Structure 1
Amino acid sequence: MADEVHQLTRAFSGLGGLGVDEPTMVSALARWRQQPEKRSGFRKSFPGFFKSHGDIDRCEEGYMLHLAAEFARFKNLMVLWAMHPWERDARLAHHVLHQAHPAAIVVEVACTRSAEELLGARRAYQALFHHSLEEDVAYCARDKPYCNLLVGLVSAYRYEGPRVNDEVARAEAKALGVAVRSAGGVAGKLLENDEVVRILTTRSKPHLVETFKYYKEMHGKHIEEDLGKDETLQETVLCLAAPAKYFSQVMEAGLTDGADHHAKDGLTRVAVTRSDADMDEIRAAYQEQFGAKLEEAVAAKAHGHYRDALLSLIGGK
């Protein structure tokens, strides 16, 4: 009895909040049918979910909301997976633009998609919401220091060929260094620099990789190390020049004990949106940064059908 209760408690608890163990729950329905005393014992052994109120063990409202969110993770993953990628990106961007901190996912969509994919997302956005993505970004971020950067990023149609002008890349690395020194570590100041915004929002990704390489040669640091507290700039640089590293960090944040719901949603989002793109590179980047296999980390932290779906998307077997 004690082992059965323990298993069911683990199934309900989500153990870190990445899905619930649906098969164990279903098994308990069959095993405990017409055994109300077992259910009573389960309630009394699970004070996080139930509190004694007179003659009943009442469900706690907060935990019911938590449990509903964990059940929904698999559903949300499947809905995102089934959507056309352009619609998916449009809906992701629209959703976060109405939250308190919209920058990260907008940066992700704008900087890690190809020129055609971003254009498709912009078209889908107009069809779905009867506004352009650019105008909604400009309005929703109008009071934020990163507004001009975000508008430039979502408006871009970057050259995707391999050609890079080394002289220009070197000159722009120097210009970025001047801007960093002028900012003096003051948060937000780099975002006000028109030259920084121009370089990041117009140059091709191969060009930016070369520019950042020259920056390190000139200044002895990766550029993201010099961006201080400008989180939006750090995300932009990583998404443009090292997307696999960025995505592996998003997934690790979602797997960390105590992760909030935004971080957990990020795990779902990356698994779905990158499964057909660069998941091999993300797995390699994850192992390099965190010293573990991504699929093993997911198997240890996630639960139930949600875990199985994540592992199917991540692959690596």
Structure 2
Amino acid sequence: MGDEVQQLTRAFSGLGGLGVDEATMVSALARWRKQPEKRSAFRKGFPGFFASQGEELERCEEEHMLRLAAEFARFKNLMVLWAMHPWERDARLAHQVLHQHHPAAALVEVACTRSADELLGARRAYHALFHRSLEEDVAYRARDKPYCNLLVGLVSAYRYEGPRVNEEVAKAEAKALGAAAGKEKLAAVQSEEVVRILSTRSKPHLVETFKHYKEMHGRRIEEDLGSQSQSKEETLLVEAVLCLAAPAKYFSQVIEAALRDGADHHGKEALTRVAVTRSDHGMDEIRAAYQEQFGAKLEDAVAAKAHGHYRDALLSLVGAAK
């Protein structure tokens, strides 16, 4: 009986992590139907989940019940996101940021990592679903934030997607960004020049601009815009820079943060979001960036941390196409 109890305890071990092992739980239901003594041994052997209430009762902690429900929901949420039209999915992700106080990262990702037509499609879907424009909602919901103009500019963009870059302009704008980055961090995110460059220039142009920035200053622009203890404004600015010019690096960092012990609820949500939204766009590059930055295969990291059907679904999305 000890081995079976240990297996079920491990199945619940995704609690507070990344999914639970539903298959093992279902198996236990079938095998333990008329064996209450096994369920009792399981409860007594899992003090992190059940609190003793005298000799005859082991109480399930309320906090753990809520967290367990969230772990079961991860697989469901992944499947719902995966099944949606990409435009609707992006519109709903943006709406969550603006109306449910989710971190702004999801909105930055939609604005900065989608193609011009994909972002336009998300704006059209937002209009159809919520009877307001995305730009209108961002301008209103972020009206008191220092980064309001930057966010409005990013979600309103329709960027040139060709390869042509004007080197002289890229150098001049690298110099302008350097002047802004050298000021107070809050001033950088509010700078009209920073907003103009990040919200209007093509991604190849920005890659070249940031290359010139490093040549001029000896550091990557995200190093100068951020700090060890980033404010929300700094974080958003760095996220925008990385999403525009180095999306694989950005997404690999989001995944790594989600897989850390102690990652919060929003971090784990981000793992689902990135796996679904990037499975058809640049996942090979994300896997390579993860290996380069963290010295491990992305699939191995996910398999070690996630559980059950949620793990299997994640691996099908982040793994190499077969």
Letter paired with 1:86: W
**Structure 1 runs (4+) greater than 6 angstroms displaced:** none
Letter paired with 2:105: A
Query: Which whole-Å deviations, capped at 9, do the CAs of 1:121-142 have from their partners, x for residues lacking one?
Result: 0000010001111111111111
Cα separation, 2, equivalents of 1:221 and 1:51: 53
Letter paired with 1:31: R
| Secondary structure at 1:145 match in 2 | coil
Seen in structure 2, the aligned counterparts of structure 1 residues 141 and 102 have a Cα distance that, compared at 3 Å, is farther
| Secondary structure at 2:196 match in 1 | helix
Equivalent of residue 290 in structure 1, options 294, 297, 310:
294
The equivalences for 1:228-239 within 5 A come to: 228=226, 229=230, 230-239=234-243
Asked if 1 retains the 8 angstrom alpha-carbon contact of 2:180 and 2:187, the reply is no
| Secondary structure at 2:59 match in 1 | strand
Cα separation, 2, equivalents of 1:273 and 1:281: 14
Give 2:13's aligned residue: 13
- 1:209 equivalent in alignment to 2:204: no
Seen in structure 2, the aligned counterparts of structure 1 residues 16 and 67 have a Cα distance that, compared at 3 Å, is closer
Aligned pairs, how many? 314
Letter paired with 2:89: R
Give 1:124's aligned residue: 125
Cα separation, 2, equivalents of 1:94 and 1:59: 35
Give 1:37's aligned residue: 37
Cα separation, 2, equivalents of 1:197 and 1:62: 43
Cα separation, 1, equivalents of 2:190 and 2:76: 41
- 1:196 equivalent in alignment to 2:200: no
Give 1:241's aligned residue: 245
Asked if 1 retains the 8 angstrom alpha-carbon contact of 2:8 and 2:24, the reply is yes
- 1:308 equivalent in alignment to 2:312: yes
Structure 2 residues not aligned, in runs of 5+: none
The equivalences for 1:59-74 within 5 A come to: 59-74=60-75
Query: Which whole-Å deviations, capped at 9, do the CAs of 1:83-113 have from their partners, x for residues lacking one?
Result: 0000000000101112445421111100000
The equivalences for 1:6-155 within 5 A come to: 6-14=6-14, 17-54=17-54, 55-100=56-101, 102-155=103-156
Tell me the CA shift for residue 68 of structure 1: 0.3
Letter paired with 2:318: I
Seen in structure 2, the aligned counterparts of structure 1 residues 29 and 70 have a Cα distance that, compared at 3 Å, is same
| Secondary structure at 1:259 match in 2 | coil
Structure 1 residues not aligned, in runs of 5+: none
Tell me the CA shift for residue 16 of structure 1: 5.3
Using the aligned pairs only, state the percent identity: 82
Cα separation, 2, equivalents of 1:48 and 1:290: 31
Query: Which whole-Å deviations, capped at 9, do the CAs of 1:190-230 have from their partners, x for residues lacking one?
Result: 01211111000000000000000011111111110100331
Cα separation, 1, equivalents of 2:249 and 2:259: 15
Aligned CA RMSD, in angstroms, stands at 1.2
Tell me the CA shift for residue 5 of structure 1: 1.2
